[in-house]
Amino acid sequence: MQYNKTKTDLLKNPKTWVVTGVAGFIGSNLAEALLKLDQKVIALDNFSTGHKHNLEHIQSSVSPKQWENFHFTQGDITDFETCKNITKDVDIILHQAALGSVPRSIDNPILSNHNNVSGFLNMLTAAKENGVKRFVFASSSSVYGDSQELPKVEARTGNLLSPYAVTKYVNELYMGVFEKCYGMETIGLRYFNVFGKRQDPNGAYAAVMPKWIGQILNGEDLFINGDGETSRDFTYIQNVVQANILAGTTTNSEAFGQAFNTAIGGRETLNNLYASIKKGINSHLPKLDIKDPIYRDFRAGDIRHSNANIDKMKMLLGYEPTHTLESGLQESIAWYIDDIKGNK
């Protein structure tokens, strides 16, 4: 497996990585994985959506010696000088910082553009000026828009349905331009509904998986948008960590300037997801009384079905998902139960 070989190589030859959005769900998992591989991590977050307790979780998950390799700056990607300072003398950038959420972008498109486009361009330009060759960033499956084709293939997208999707598509355009104009080794990862430990279950823009788990555990009402037959390619965080590390280290020049579907390569309906979450929680807490879901209107800007073709990433990066939806869900539920207990 290419991923195992890559991890062995990194342990022998450590690199210096930048992780933006490190206090967020995906960023914190990336930083933890890199530190466990004895890598040096230069980290940035402004705590607009990330949490300081995620940094504490990272510290408790690694050894004291590994934690010494973690160097955190509180700052914002919309400040160019901050971007220049954190990208000096580094090998690889994993850019995760952004304002996520389709509904948030519909509510405030200017703010989403400021962070996701202007902030992105700041990081990309700072990397170029500091001579950083490898730049990997979080794109999104939202760039497929209203495309009805299943599974989704990277070369074919549809009409965009939200400002958030526009920002991520613009990121991909800049990626290609910087690869062509400046020879930068840019790679975009189109995340498909990532879930796992540290994903925030609270707030108006919380993702469906942690939101539902949190609502069930707290005895709250649970809502399903539409008829519940909307489907998604739910992707466990450890698969995303693998994709980032492979993208950050690949020597395959055919991958540069390219976007890759980052997913498991399947799909599940919201109705079936609810049933699986209910079953998983009941296996830990058999006496917990779980409410039936409440159905409401479809949400503006949402695509109906999402399912990724991951052949391109397999072929060019050597990607092989290690977790299915079921195995990832089991790990996630166990983590949320322990986390909620620990906070009481």
Which is nearest to 172 in space by CA: 127, 121, 109?
121
C-alpha–C-alpha distance, residues 229 and 306, integer Å: 12
Question: Strand, coil or helix: what is 291?
Answer: coil
* Angle CA 300–238–340, to nearest 5: 75
> If we measure between CA atoms, which residue out of 334, 323, 342, 242 comes closest to residue 285?
334
Tokens found for residue 75: 């700052």
User: Are β-strands 134-140 and 194-195 bridged in parallel, bridged antiparallel, or unpaired?
Assistant: unpaired
Is residue 336 annotated as a catalytic residue, yes or no?
A: no
- DSSP state at residue 255: G
Handedness of CA 244, 248, 254, 256 (dihedral sign): positive
* β-sheet bridge partners, residue 20: 44, 95
For 295, which DSSP code?
E
Question: Per the residue annotation, which of 3, 144, 164, 336 is the catalytic one?
Answer: 164
* Cα–Cα separations (whole angstroms), residue 230 to 91, 115, 172, 211, 264: 40, 29, 26, 17, 17
Tell me which residue of 126, 59, 51 sits closest to 95, measured CA to CA: 126
The residues annotated as belonging to the active site are 164
